[in-house]
Structure 1
């Protein structure tokens, strides 16, 4: 994880708290922002692959990567609404993923 992530996200959260408050509606808006950003990442991928014939290829891999970064940032901002220790919660989740990976695959591997 980037060392800049949590300090920047904390500043974003503080600014949003001042501007919009911290009520249930704001919590919902922050969660919906994650979905909005994920939709933009999907739209960029569609544009990268040219799946919309009317628009053709109008995005790049870099555009998709940029949108995915927005998903990560929006998710980190939303996480603050659900825990008092977002960095620790994410860290625990990452460690759990590593434990699952180290335990080996839980699905059948294809035969060679």
Structure 2
């Protein structure tokens, strides 16, 4: 007998992803010190902060800072890239409650534009 409320067989499915994005958005909104336009702008700036952390991890993984040496691993870079994706999806959800549909539509356009013209 299967449990209808069990965890998804494959975590990270689209429904699971968007449920997590909605939960994170609600959590951030509940404890936001700045609201309105200022809060929105700060949420967008958070994305730049996360991208900077990717750069820092890449520099650390390659040992490009001679003063610090190798300070990160490629696993750290992967984690930081995931943080960028999560932050971007939460930022999109901040702009629209239809983030899932907006993203799916945009992804389909980019995919068609990029891959649709290729002939095997």
Q: Same fold (TM over 0.5)?
A: yes
How many angstroms apart in 2 are the aligned matches of 1:93 and 1:8? 20
Q: Is the 8 A contact 2:57 2:72 kept in 1?
A: yes
Q: Which one of the candidate residues 19, 26, 30 is aligned to 1:7?
A: 19
Give the alignment of 1:74-93 within 5 angstroms. Answer: 74-93=87-106
How many angstroms apart in 2 are the aligned matches of 1:61 and 1:26? 33
How many equivalent pairs are there?
104
The root-mean-square deviation of aligned C-alpha atoms, in Å, is 1.5
For 2:37, the equivalent position in structure 1 comes to 24
Tell me how far 1:22 sits from its aligned partner.
4.3
Q: Which one of the candidate residues 80, 103, 110 is aligned to 2:117?
A: 103
Q: Which runs of 5+ in 2 are unaligned?
A: 1-11
Q: Is the 8 A contact 2:24 2:90 kept in 1?
A: yes
How many angstroms apart in 2 are the aligned matches of 1:73 and 1:86? 12
How many angstroms apart in 2 are the aligned matches of 1:49 and 1:5? 31
| TM-score between the two structures when normalised by the length of structure 2 | 0.80
| TM-score between the two structures when normalised by the length of structure 1 | 0.86
1:50 aligned to 2:78? no
Q: Which runs of 5+ in 1 are unaligned?
A: 106-112
